[in-house]
A and B are shown apart, each in its own frame.
Chain A
Amino acid sequence: MSETALEQFRADARAWLHANIPAHAAPLEGPDSRAFVLDWQRRMYEGGWAGLTWPSEFGGRSLTVAQQIVWFEEYARAHAPSTHNASFVGLNHAGPTIIACGTDEQKAFHLPRILSGQVIWCQGFSEPGSGSDLASLRCKGRIEGDEIVIEGQKIWSSYADIADYQELLIRTDPDSSRHKGLTWLICPMDLPGITVRPIKTMAGPAKFCEVFYDQVRVRIDEAVVGGVGEGWKTAMATLSFERGTASLALQIGLVEKIERLAADCTDPVLAPRLADLRADAAALKAMSYSFALASESGTPGSEGSMIRLYFAELAKRASDLAVDLYGIGAEELAGDHGWSYEYLEAFSETIAGGTAEIQRNIIGERVLGLPRGKA
């Protein structure tokens, strides 16, 4: 695409965002959050701005990576609602997984609903005994004819209390261990036997949940994605679809926030820390753009794990500095999306989706080829 065409695309995106940004900030939890997220997704869908990263045959726009970057630059610039909201799992996880491994029926039913803002999805991977060590999970599925009967517990399932569906990873072969014998399921959240208990976080909102399954029955043909016993492969397929752009909005948004801190900083003692933050923010942008562009022509490299960790630690340092800069009681810290919330919320960044320690193991072993330790 020519630079002129790309700049036209940017102008279109900017104009649309300017005219359509919600007037109110996103609620952080509960039914209000659900209504807000679905409404925003519907509006983007009707405006032709949904599924930018999805292939066009599934209702997406098949945009180039450069266009996606431009969209997310404008999205961050317009202070549009965070993409890390209740629609994130559907758009960036469950949807792409169904595209990669689902049946035609599953695709026809679920994909339009996700894209047009009719449904919320949540993730059911972690368990009380299986955090960073996901492959040790024990939540069971017993196969009975053409059904699977689910028994067990999941935890840290964001927005499970307002979700319609869950992407659920369970053990369907009782004699299996580790990565074998797992199955990836679509689990409707309104089935009998499901109990959801929200957990209040240290940052305030009760947005993630425990989910209990007591003899929950799903039909194999409707629910299983990628085959019974192939769940680990299905979960990994999501990662190969993801071209490193799902997190671009967050990354660009963080760069924006750091630039605003720099503009507000008149404290010479904090200035050196902020200088380093600005430089690291520029590096985050350089890495994520280069990674996304490189993966357009091939499979994404393993550098993604480094960018993810870099983002998480930078987000923590930025919000830490913001509290130092403005001080408790300042207007900048107040409110649902103020720096107090951001500061406390940022502690989840180096825990969720594999702790920073596990990420460093992965970088050491998969990027650098270092040996695994003796168990």
Chain B
Amino acid sequence: MTIFRDLSETRDLVDSFTRPAESLLPVSRLREDPAGEAARWNSIVELGWLVIGLPEDAGGVGLSVVEETLAAQTFGRHLISTDYPAAVLAAHGFTQLGEADLANDIATGARRAHLAFRARQGGGLFAIDATDDGVLVVLTEQGVDIFENARASLHDAEHWALPVNSVAAAEPKWSLADTGLALRGRLLIAAMLAGIAGEACNRGVDYAKVREQFGQPIGAFQAVKHHCANMAISAYAAQELVTFAAVSLAEGTGDADHLVRSALNLALRAARDNAGLNIQVHGGMGFSEECTAHLFLKAARLLDAAVGGISAVRGSLMRTV
């Protein structure tokens, strides 16, 4: 069965709810005022962005996975911290585990949550930006595992704009088996990646309109124009599929699992491709630290790591019906 749902009102609602991101989270903040992220996080908590899809009786806004997913696309555009999907998953996870106090701590910002992932080799754990004693959230195939942050950093993985620490934490303190939440987490990350793909495209296109070489804007050259067209197609496909999958997950249609994994696969490719093309279109400036183009690439790669890498995502997609 195909679900036909008019989302225009839903989009308007989510747009009004996420509009403060324009002033609160300009991407330039990450270069100009990285220290201000802590204060900005408090604003994010106050705006209720961590609990959009949490039921009202659990202290949430009470909207569906569709609204949660649309909002995550916007937050992805603004390169919101990886703490964001960690907190959303922790709030859902603790609520379902019956740990209302812990869920409340996450929702009110009393305790932070950080995204973590299993190392590709050796079975260890890496945490992203886990600079305090917040819990570590790992998205698994079956649901979520949540760890206390042991902070026994063995080494840092540099280069990724955010610190990535190895963590000595063998067993999760809380483990939730809920394939619905596992899918919801994947869709949330797919939505952020689709947002990254869309914003990288916009920035590449904007630059191609103003940067001049050989007496004309570089966007007039077909080679550059075609890069831009490719970015636009990738971003459009990722955004439409993420939303389509969200509706199917909300309605519980039989192909929801397949659509969510498809959305994640596509969004992973769209985000990294567009981030790379945005750097290319920016030329020498794109390769500089000063330009923010590299931040989209690094954010895409960290989210890729958090879902186990694109090979794992491809493999899981071939097992869905």
Contact = CB atoms under 8 A, between A and B. Distances in A.
A364 B266 contact: no
A310 B266 CA distance: 13
Nearest to A313: B233
A203 B6 CA distance: 42
Interface residues of B, number: 43
B226 A357 contact: yes
Contacts of A361: 222, 225-226, 229
A282 B244 contact: yes
Contacts of B230: 360
B222 A282 contact: no
Given A70-B2, A306-B232, A371 B216 contact: yes
Contacts of B240: 283, 286-287, 290
Contact of A272 (B217, B236, B314): B314
B55 interface: no
Contact of B318 (A275, A289, A359, A367): A275
Contacts of A373: 216, 220-222
A68 to B, nearest CB: 11
A69 B4 CA distance: 10
Nearest to A374: B216
A148 interface: no
A7 B4 CA distance: 12
A265 B261 CA distance: 18
A309 interface: yes
B201 to A, nearest CB: 8
Interface of B (DSSP majority class): helix
Contacts, number: 135
B229 A279 contact: no
Contact of A360 (B209, B226, B311): B226
Nearest to A7: B1
Nearest to A281: B262
B251 to A, nearest CB: 10
Contact of B229 (A272, A281, A360): A360
Contact of B311 (A272, A289, A290): A272
Contacts of B298: none
A333 interface: no
B272 to A, nearest CB: 13
A281 B266 CA distance: 10
A27 B233 CA distance: 35
B73 interface: no
A92 B261 CA distance: 35
Contacts of B263: 279, 282-283
A265 B209 contact: no
A19 interface: no
A278 interface: yes
B85 interface: no
Contacts of A262: 318
A293 B216 contact: no
Interface centre among A279, A289, A293, A372 (most CB of B within 10 A): A279
- 10 smallest CB-CB distances across A and B, nearest first, come from A286-B244, A364-B225, A275-B314, A370-B219, A279-B262, A282-B262, A279-B265, A360-B229, A363-B229, A283-B237
15 contacts: A7-B1, A272-B314, A279-B263, A280-B266, A283-B238, A287-B240, A290-B244, A303-B236, A306-B229, A310-B237, A360-B229, A363-B232, A370-B217, A370-B220, A373-B221
Interface of A: 6-7, 66, 69-70, 73, 262, 265, 271-272, 274-276, 278-287, 289-290, 293, 303, 306, 309-310, 357, 359-361, 363-365, 367-374
